[in-house]
A and B are shown apart, each in its own frame.
Chain A
Amino acid sequence: MKLERFTSDLIPAVVGFNTRLLNGGADPELVFPETPAPEISAPAGLAPDARNGRLEERFLLMDESCVRGAFILQHQVFWLGTEAVPISHLRLPLSEGIVDRKFAGVGMQLIRHALRLQPLLFTLGMGGRERPLPKLLGAMQWRLWDVPFYFSVNRPARFLRGIRALRTSAWRRLALNLAAFSGIGWAGAQMWAATRRKSAPEKAKVEPAQGFSNWADETWEACKRSYSMIATRNSSTLQALYPDGGRFHSRRVHANGRPTGWFVALDTVMEEHKQFGNLRVGTIVDALSRPEDAPMVVRAAADFLYDRGVDLVISNQMHPAWGAALCDAGFIGAPSNFALAVSPILTPHCGDGRGIHVNRGDGDGPIHL
């Protein structure tokens, strides 16, 4: 088998690959894009001196004219403690071995091919550490962490009636309905709110980010050295990731008379979502400040979403200062299905993982939210 770049003449082969995966019973969400064109453009500052000027590259493992495996490399610049370093996000490594044992070796080949192209690799999400991909990566000496998940309920009755992740049995559904209609849920939410008020830091001032202009570069320069590993979040990157006029709510935060940081939020009415049913979910997608200012930014983001009337607010945050800020703001930790894996050569840059700033703004971005 031979690794080839995905070009338009190979579209029928990719369609055939996807068809075989689906017919073999693979997860319908795990199909390879059937176009070689990058999904996002390459803005200045986001792309490293990109290979062939491209931000994203798609590769196919060809067995004569058939695709047996595929993956995507998305190139980014990360700040690794003291310097900016091009790193790549390994996306969607897919192997026909998951549906046909004849191709059992394809998964490992894909990872080794990707590492040969770029030894500094990471992958994010993956549905949690118990899924096949993270297990495979763990066996290949990649380092794995959960990116913790936090949530806070704003409208308890709607939350209790609507949360699918908890309504997994008839008894649980009954108990949640009782809590919703009896007011127990409301009382619990008031206790959470009291906790939030008790430890509230000084009220921050929030204003629209308006295109993440020069101030975002200043924030980036002031903050990046506080983290051992963080994807570039300068103005051009943020403008590309969170363009004005789209579904993102981007806000700049001031506190104590000085610019403190920013956050990007989503306010989404779910439709038959696997975990959230039809709830209105607020997400703190991305945020940046120095770790010591995280409480103010988190509080500002949560209040912004509460005021919009969401049913609950969620966030995945890896850095302990951001996790602590969420907990201080009344959020509760819950099992995470969002994991970070870094390649063996990248691992030494990560230390014990406590300096890594990763959230739902990284990797594939806030998909399904």
Chain B
Amino acid sequence: MTGPLWEQVAGMAADVMGVDASTLDERSGPEQIQTWDSVQHLNLVLALEAQFSLQFEPEEIDQMTTLGRIAEIIKAHQGSTTTG
């Protein structure tokens, strides 16, 4: 996965999880990243909500099992905003 959205998501995940962004890919998630626990998951979701000015539904948080899925969910939000 590439593009500005992916770079933002990966950059924020790297900051929150305390890992090198270059080690992250779309399959990265709690099972791959040792520091990705409940608290860091919360911190990442809240940081993304602030960055993209949106609020995730519980069902969307449920789907946030990898960075790739997170990027897709944000993209869907942005699409729904731009298409009205």
Contact = CB atoms under 8 A, between A and B. Distances in A.
Given A97-B37, A135-B39, A108 B61 contact: yes
Given A97-B37, A101-B36, A136 B61 contact: no
A104 B62 contact: no
Interface in A71-115: 95, 97-98, 101-102, 104-110, 112-113
A95 B64 CA distance: 16
B41 A97 contact: yes
Contacts of B30: 101-102, 104
Contact of A101 (B31, B42, B45, B56): B31
A104 B58 contact: no
A112 B57 contact: yes
Nearest to B46: A139
B38 A97 contact: yes
B43 A139 contact: yes
A355 to B, nearest CB: 29
A101 B34 CA distance: 9
A3 interface: yes
A101 B37 CA distance: 5
A24 B58 CA distance: 25
B42 A112 contact: no
What's the dominant secondary structure at chain A's contact region?
A: helix
A51 interface: no
Nearest to A96: B38
For the side of the interface on B, what is the size category? 10 to 19
A136 B42 CA distance: 7
A3 B37 CA distance: 22
B70 to A, nearest CB: 10
- Most central of B31, B37, B46 by chain A CB within 10 Å: B37
B28 interface: no
A105 B42 CA distance: 7
A7 B58 CA distance: 22
Contact of B64 (A105, A135, A136, A140): A105
A116 B37 contact: no
Contact of B41 (A3, A108, A112, A116): A108
B38 A98 contact: yes
Nearest to A107: B38
A1 interface: yes
Interface residues on A, range: 20 to 34
A112 B37 contact: no
Contacts of A3: 58
A139 B42 contact: yes
A132 interface: yes
Contact of B42 (A98, A107, A113, A116): A107
Which of A95, A102, A116 has the largest number of chain B CB atoms within 10 A?
Answer: A102
Contacts of B57: 112
Interface in B1-56: 30-31, 36-43, 45-46, 56
Interface of A: 1, 3, 95, 97-98, 101-102, 104-110, 112-113, 116, 132, 135-136, 139-140
Given A98-B38, A105-B64, 11 more contacts: A1-B62, A97-B37, A97-B41, A104-B30, A107-B38, A107-B41, A107-B42, A108-B38, A108-B58, A109-B61, A139-B42
21 contacts: A1-B62, A3-B58, A101-B30, A101-B31, A101-B38, A102-B31, A104-B36, A104-B41, A105-B45, A105-B62, A107-B38, A108-B38, A108-B41, A109-B62, A112-B56, A112-B61, A135-B39, A136-B38, A136-B39, A136-B42, A140-B46
